[in-house]
Amino acid sequence: MSRKTSHTRGRARRTAATPAGGASAFTPDSLSVSPRHLEIGGEWVASFAITGYPREVHAGWLQPLLSYPGRVDVSLHIEPIDPVTAANRLKRQLSKLESGRRHSNEKGRLLDPMVEAATEDAYDLSARVARGEGKLYRFGLYLTVHATSEPDLAEHVAAVRSLAASLLMNAQPTTYRSLQGWVSTLPLALDLIGMRRTFDTSALAAAFPFTSPDLPPADPTSVTAPDGVLYGFNIGSQGLVHWNRFAADNYNSVVLGRSGAGKSYLAKLEALRSLYRGIEVAIIDPEDEYRRLCEAIGGTYIRLGDPAVRINPFDLPIATRPDGRRTAPKDALTRRVLFLHTVIGVLLGMELSAHQRAVLDRAFLTTYKNAGITSDPRTWGRQAPLLADLSATLTGTSDPVAADLASRLHPFVDGASSAMFAGPTTTRPEGHLTVFSLRDLPDELRAIGTLLTLDTIWRRVSNPAIRRPRLITVEEAWLLMQDPAGARFLHRMAKAARKHWAGLTIATQDAGDVLGTELGKAIIANAATQILLRQATQAIDEIVTTFNLSDGEKQFLVSADKGQGLLSTGTQRVAFQALASPQENALITTDPAELAAYAESGVEADDSAFVDLDGIDTEATFDDDTDRHIDVDPAA
């Protein structure tokens, strides 16, 4: 008789009828019961009961079972013991142990070390229970191993039993009770095996809840528990890494990684999955990497450097409310003048002296006055002046410092770099996703382009008429961090973003430009979410010092594969691998080999990956207090 025939005869086959309703999704097509395993549909499972435990346990002593690379179900059954019953049982157990010791002593036999240890533990446990320092529980631990075939099951069973033996646990198969063993590991609170061991409170606390390298989950009892964004899978436990930035102390994030480490890939993946949750996203893209993603989901794509795209830094921060009224902060003109100092400093690439700032301050107010805009809020709805008007004001001043500043501004007024400032602002960011591309800007204008787009985004973020969670992603932030004035603006934005329900994402490959300045370190300190991808050996020492990494974490970051990194959320750190679906990968990949494969197949990377965001509420509004704002009459 063949082995297959004999095996079939030796098991009872039970086929469950498919119930009506939604429960059919959880019911296997068939259930075959064998002495030591089950065949459930197309899956093979074997169950074990833990009968032997180590004498002493520590916090997280079951964690290796959770980190096993295969699928293993770990089930704990806990039953409290009544104090009176516990005291009587301990008394009887102590009587048995003492009686055995005296009998051995009377017969002249050597003492059994195991009995001596058990007696000491029983006395200690009895004393703690009598003092009220703990209680007793009946504890059952069962394991179920899953596999796709019988040979694979045998291999996993051997590995799990070896793992249990290394933890000083004895895993016995539930022979002839394989069905009861499997049911005991299901989330049904049924213990059909009944192989229990008495645990006290401290030992039980070390086993439950499990400690693992995963991030702590959200409170499942809260109706407002955040669901978070899926970043990938946990390298240590093979679990999924979810994190909700909007549940942290602040919503900022910093992503540091060398070129090719997957920094932009992760930023795009987070942006796309944030859009699924109804979060509005604005991105500053220096290399045109977000175009396919933006077009696929119907976002707004603004290409700076195009002659038709202009941003006027003199525009006052005026917001339009849902009822059509236009409002602005009471100190809108003063704030704009202060911001213009930053604009000129970044534009000229220099730190302004006190005399230059004084000259510019007078010139700004004069330029606004010539355009009919004064400290009277009723005039703020008029057409804002241009950079050319400021240059004309400086030129008409007899002060040599003003003349020098006017000459320095000439390339941006009448020269080759004047296109972006040659007229009023042409576009305003709107919609669930806005991408500002800086690829067509000359290198000399990228810093000022980043600053002006950040200011444009900030106008929408700080608009009290539309309150909703937002993410602002700044790719290659080192472009702005190189300029002191730009770094200060980014620092102020990082500190104020939380008050407007916004999170700032700083992604850069030049960690030295961020960590080399006090402002850069302050920006990192204001980021509750910190992601470190693969680092260059030349920069790893500074990363280790700033983020207080261990030697193991240092070696991991130096040797990490593409997309692997550390996610730090304050007291928690987890090593993860970024994970994207094929549709998401088609939208966000910039790998030349993958793009070439799409081209050869005759299918564009985003042809079959259109994301429907019609269900997202992109215009959630609320009425904010108006005492902090004033109405602006555009006809004044």
**Which pLDDT tens digit goes with each residue over 192-228?**
999 998 888 878 888 865 555 566 655 544 444 446 8
Quick one: average pLDDT of 71-89? 84
For 14, 34, 104, the CA distances from 6, given in Å and listed in that order, are 17, 12, 50
**Residue 10 pLDDT class (50, 70, 90 cuts):** very low
- Residue 221: what pLDDT? 43
- Residue 165: what pLDDT? 92
Query: Residue 408: how many CB atoms within 10 A of its CB?
Result: 17
Q: What is the DSSP string of 20-89?
A: SSGGGGGS-S-EEE-SS-EEETTEEEEEEEEEE--SS--TTTTHHHHT-SS-EEEEEEEEE--HHHHHHH
500 compared with 116, residue with greater pLDDT: 500
C-beta separation of 437 from 285 below 8 A: yes
For 329, 458, 464, 468, 488, the CA distances from 500, given in Å and listed in that order, are 15, 10, 8, 8, 19
User: Environment class of residue 209 by beta-carbon count within 10 Å: exposed (0-12), middle (13-18) or buried (19+)?
Assistant: exposed
Written as six digits, the tokens of 438 are 């800086």
Query: Residue 5: how many CB atoms within 10 A of its CB?
Result: 9
Which residue, chain included where needed, has tokens 């020492």? 541
Domain spans in the chain, listed from the N-terminal domain onward: 29-207, 248-311+425-629, 328-414
Nearest of 552, 565, 479, 532 to residue 542 by alpha carbon: 532
- Residue 193: what pLDDT? 93
- Alpha-carbon dihedral of residues 461, 463, 469, 474, nearest 10 degrees? 0
What percent of the chain is predicted at pLDDT more than 90? 26
What is the reported pTM? 0.64
Domain 248-311+425-629 top-level CATH class: alpha beta
- For 422-460, the pLDDT digits (tens) are 888 887 777 889 999 988 888 888 888 888 888 888 888
Q: Within a 13 Å sphere around the CA of 399, how many CA atoms are in the beta-carbon half?
A: 15
- For 543-569, the pLDDT digits (tens) are 888 888 888 888 889 989 988 999 988
Distance from chain centroid for Cα 525: 17
- For 299-331, the pLDDT digits (tens) are 899 998 888 888 899 988 876 665 656 677 788
The one-letter amino acid at 96: K
Nearest of 263, 304, 244, 230 to residue 475 by alpha carbon: 263
What percent of the chain is predicted at pLDDT more than 70? 84
Query: Residue 87: how many CB atoms within 10 A of its CB?
Result: 15
Lowest mean pLDDT among 91-105, 317-331, 523-537: 317-331
- Residue 319: what pLDDT? 66
Evaluate if residue 242 carries a pLDDT over 50.
yes
- Residue 24: what pLDDT? 58
Lowest mean pLDDT among 114-128, 155-169, 301-315, 429-443: 114-128
Query: Residue 94: how many CB atoms within 10 A of its CB?
Result: 15
Give the containing element (helix H, strand E) for 273.
helix 263-276
Evaluate if residue 482 carries a pLDDT over 90.
no
Q: Within a 13 Å sphere around the CA of 40, how many CA atoms are in the beta-carbon half?
A: 18
Nearest of 567, 536, 514 to residue 253 by alpha carbon: 567
- Residue 217: what pLDDT? 55
Angle at 126 between CA 125 and CA 128, to 5 degrees: 65
End-to-end CA distance of the chain: 101
- For 24-37, the pLDDT digits (tens) are 556 777 889 999 99
Q: What is the DSSP string of 116-133?
A: HHHHHHHHHHHHHHHTTS
CA 245, CA 218: separation in Å to the nearest integer?
A: 12
Which long-range contacts link 620-627 to residues 24+ away (Cβ below 8 Å)? 620/278, 620/466, 620/467, 620/468, 621/322, 621/465, 621/466, 621/467, 622/467, 624/464, 624/465, 624/467, 625/464, 626/327
For 102, 293, 490, the CA distances from 439, given in Å and listed in that order, are 88, 16, 21
Written as six digits, the tokens of 57 are 């346990």
Quick one: average pLDDT of 295-302? 89
Quick one: average pLDDT of 138-149? 93
Quick one: average pLDDT of 575-580? 90
- Residue 442: what pLDDT? 85
